[in-house]
Amino acid sequence: MTWEARTTYLSHMLYNYPAKTYALTAFICCLLLSGCGGAGGLLSAPKKWIGIEEDPQAPTALTNLGSESLRLKKLWSDSVGASEMMYSRLQPHIADGLVYLAGADNRVEAWQLIDGKRIWSVKLQETISGGVNGGEQILAVGTENGLVIALDLADGKEKWRTLLSSEVLALSQVRHGVIVARTSDSTIHALDIGDGSVAWRASRSSPPLTLMGASQPRVAGSVVLVGFDDGKLVAFSLLDGEERWRATVSFPSGRSELERIADIDGEIAFQDDEVYAANFNGRTVAVDMLTGRVKWARDLASHTGVGADESRVYVIGTNDGVWALDRTTGATLWRQDKLLYRSLTVPVPVGDYIVVGDYDGYLHWLSKKDGRLVGRHRVARDAIDSVPVIIGQRVCVLADNGSFTVLQQP
């Protein structure tokens, strides 16, 4: 079994069988120290189910939705090829009628959203590990060796590159002339999009053991929201990096380092004057955007993060149960358990529904009102780890094998 497979399987065991974590601690730490060639202390996020026959928690089988299921229309589909980075969280960037993607051979491409026509394609010499994101006439990707490379949105020509402290895991959208990069050493770097110069940096120390990956920095008004591996959600001033506030999603707890993993690695959502976040082994919280005060908290852990709309917060629980919480109080409105152990993406709202992707290439539509499953469409023969992107009534999704599909919802 390869190192990647070993860590994925073990993290799956830890995620679904928490009672066994203490007994496995020494064994896994030995594997981490002996097998990762200098990358000790990182566990792969438990996203993909490994097909072990004796596993009693296999993915829930899908049932027929009946004749009244949503009639979804596939507008087009194409492929950019699978990324070389097994655990990268590459997302499509969609702006002004174009979709920008990174995939096989470290190639970055721009396609027309309406029909998939390729506009330009650029092959980089570095291994892409983070992004794609951009705005204000630039497109940026992060690399395994710590570079942020900015390309011209119009033709893909390189505008600048900046070397940061370690592997680039995630990039924010561009706002106010700044793009924010998250690197694997828990450092946040704000870069001027004009020349790539570092405007400011901020960092926090990491616990001894963390999950691989990091949440995407989210820009909300004049602040950038960042989730850290110690369970803290921090708002930094986008202008100068000053810490505006710090909120605790949950405190690390337990006797072993494995039990104390509290990473905020999933999506952070905000709506009006509130921020919503969840962490591994921890809670889901609502935080006041101005003060950082925790307004409500639920003992509902998630490594995928949260989605939100005007009235609800949507969370994927530890066993892939889908929860809808009241935005004001955090009370449970409904729970859907027909997709358990299918390694779901964070839910995204679209019209009267929410959409999630799963480990087997399916997209599922759930009613916002009661969580009822109302639609399904298979877009790939591989897992969907990338969060679906909603453009009007169109649902755009990138699968792990590099296939990109645009569906039209009625």
**Could you tell me if 196 and 146 are in contact, meaning their C-beta atoms sit under 8 angstroms apart?**
no
Q: How many CA atoms lie within 13 A of 301 on its CB side?
A: 18
- What is the pTM assigned to this prediction? 0.86
> Which tens digit of pLDDT belongs to each residue from 265-285?
899 999 999 999 999 989 999
> Which tens digit of pLDDT belongs to each residue from 333-367?
999 999 999 999 999 999 999 999 999 999 999 99
- pLDDT given at position 327: 97
Helix (H, G, I), strand (E, B) or coil at 84: coil
Q: Which residues contact 55 (CB under 8 A, 6 or more apart)?
A: none
State the average pLDDT over residues 289-294. Answer: 97
**Could you tell me if 380 and 404 are in contact, meaning their C-beta atoms sit under 8 angstroms apart?**
no
Q: Predicted confidence band at 207 (pLDDT cuts at 50, 70, 90)?
A: low
101 pLDDT above the threshold of 50 = yes
- Percentage helix, strand, coil, to 5, in the chain? 10, 40, 50
b/e 218-248 (16+ beta carbons within 10 angstroms → b): bbbeebbbbbbbbbbbbbbebeebeebbebb
> Which tens digit of pLDDT belongs to each residue from 123-146?
999 999 999 999 999 999 999 999
Q: Which helix (H) or strand (E) holds 29?
A: helix 21-35
> Which tens digit of pLDDT belongs to each residue from 27-44?
444 444 333 433 345 544
52 pLDDT above the threshold of 60 = no
State the average pLDDT over residues 20-28. Answer: 39
Q: How many CA atoms lie within 13 A of 62 on its CB side?
A: 18
Give CA–CA dist 28/26, Å, rounded: 6
Q: Predicted confidence band at 235 (pLDDT cuts at 50, 70, 90)?
A: very high
Q: Predicted confidence band at 212 (pLDDT cuts at 50, 70, 90)?
A: low
Q: Which residues contact 347 (CB under 8 A, 6 or more apart)?
A: 307, 314, 315, 316, 322, 354, 355, 356, 366
